[in-house]
């Protein structure tokens, strides 16, 4: 077993027996600093897959992401210094991820929102449209500094800007850890979100979501 996996596990679960097998793999299939873990129950085997970019990251931060993945797969909520370091790393990272993807419509939306609500101070992230079938209005991914917006929102630029604003707030505020839970929509987030000029935007968006059978947004 890879020593980082072993050390990560022992630190998290000192009373548990280390009786599984595990492997650490770097994968070029991942973008940014994404990672995942697969557990096969019949073999009691964990495969941790980290994007290739992780290769040069320090061991203590790597342990943080491994522990984070252990928490996810074991449905535990163990807190460690490494996880804390990993969270700081992830938040800082966003400022250094290369911006390579953009789209004219999204860029214009970003510029409008940036000027109105962020004094033009926000650095442009990657901006992409999700496929027409994607049932998510928008997402912001920290690891790749990317805002993804549903293509269906092209129909309504006001709602597009509103979703853009929401995702930009994620980029600005990152996330908080509170009582061991990750908080993405903090009270501060919601306060800022309400500053959007169209006070009916939320109900218009709910209508839009129902009409197009979206699952929601993040």
Closest CB to Zn ion among 89 and 218?
218
Give the integer Cα–Cα distance in Å for 9 and 182: 21
Q: How far is the CB of 171 from Zn ion (least distance, A)?
A: 11
Give the integer Cα–Cα distance in Å for 2 and 214: 41
> Phi, psi (5° rounding) for residue 23?
-135, 145
Closest CB to Zn ion among 7 and 176?
176
Q: What angle do CA 87, 57, 140 make, to 5 degrees?
A: 45
Binding mask 189-218 for Zn ion (x = CB under 5 A): -----------------------------x
Give the integer Cα–Cα distance in Å for 122 and 117: 10
Residues 123-152 within binding reach of Zn ion (CB under 5 A): none
DSSP label of 55: G
Closest CB to Zn ion among 118 and 218?
218
Q: How far is the CB of 22 from Zn ion (least distance, A)?
A: 33
- State the number of binding residues for Zn ion (CB under 5 A): 1
Closest CB to Zn ion among 69 and 137?
137
Give the integer Cα–Cα distance in Å for 206 and 190: 16
> Phi, psi (5° rounding) for residue 118?
-130, 15
Q: How far is the CB of 174 from Zn ion (least distance, A)?
A: 12
Closest CB to Zn ion among 7 and 186?
186
Residues 96-125 as b or e (16 or more Cβ within 10 Å = b)? ebeeeeeeebbeebbeebbeebeeeeeeeb
Q: How far is the CB of 217 from Zn ion (least distance, A)?
A: 6
Q: How far is the CB of 59 from Zn ion (least distance, A)?
A: 32
Please check whether residue 27 is in contact with residue 51, taking contact to mean a CB–CB distance below 8 angstroms: yes
Residue of closest CB approach to Zn ion: 218
DSSP label of 216: B
Q: How far is the CB of 166 from Zn ion (least distance, A)?
A: 6
Residue with token string 């096969």: 40
Closest CB to Zn ion among 39 and 218?
218
Q: Using CB under 5 A as the criterion, which residues of the chain lie in contact with Zn ion when the complex forms? A: 218
């Amino acid at each position: 077993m890879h020593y980082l996996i072993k050390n990560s596990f022992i630190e998290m679960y000192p009373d548990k027996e280390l009786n599984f097998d595990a492997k650490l793999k770097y994968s070029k299939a991942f973008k940014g600093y994404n990672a995942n873990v697969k557990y096969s129950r019949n073999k009691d085997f964990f495969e941790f897959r980290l994007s290739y970019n992780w290769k040069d990251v320090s061991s203590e931060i790597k342990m943080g992401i491994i522990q984070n993945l252990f928490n996810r797969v074991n449905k535990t909520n163990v807190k460690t210094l490494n996880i804390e370091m990993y969270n700081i790393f992830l938040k800082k990272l966003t400022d250094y991820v290369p911006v390579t993807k953009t789209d004219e419509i999204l860029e214009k939306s970003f510029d409008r929102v940036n000027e109105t609500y962020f004094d033009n101070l926000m650095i442009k992230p990657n901006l992409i449209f999700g496929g027409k079938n994607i049932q998510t209005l928008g997402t912001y991914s920290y690891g790749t500094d990317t805002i993804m917006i549903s293509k269906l929102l092209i129909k309504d630029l006001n709602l597009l800007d509103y979703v853009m604003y929401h995702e930009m707030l994620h980029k600005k505020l990152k996330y908080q850890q509170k009582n061991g839970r990750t908080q993405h929509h903090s009270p501060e987030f919601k306060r800022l979100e309400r500053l959007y000029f169209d006070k009916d935007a939320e109900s218009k968006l709910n209508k839009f979501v129902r009409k197009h059978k979206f699952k929601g947004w993040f």
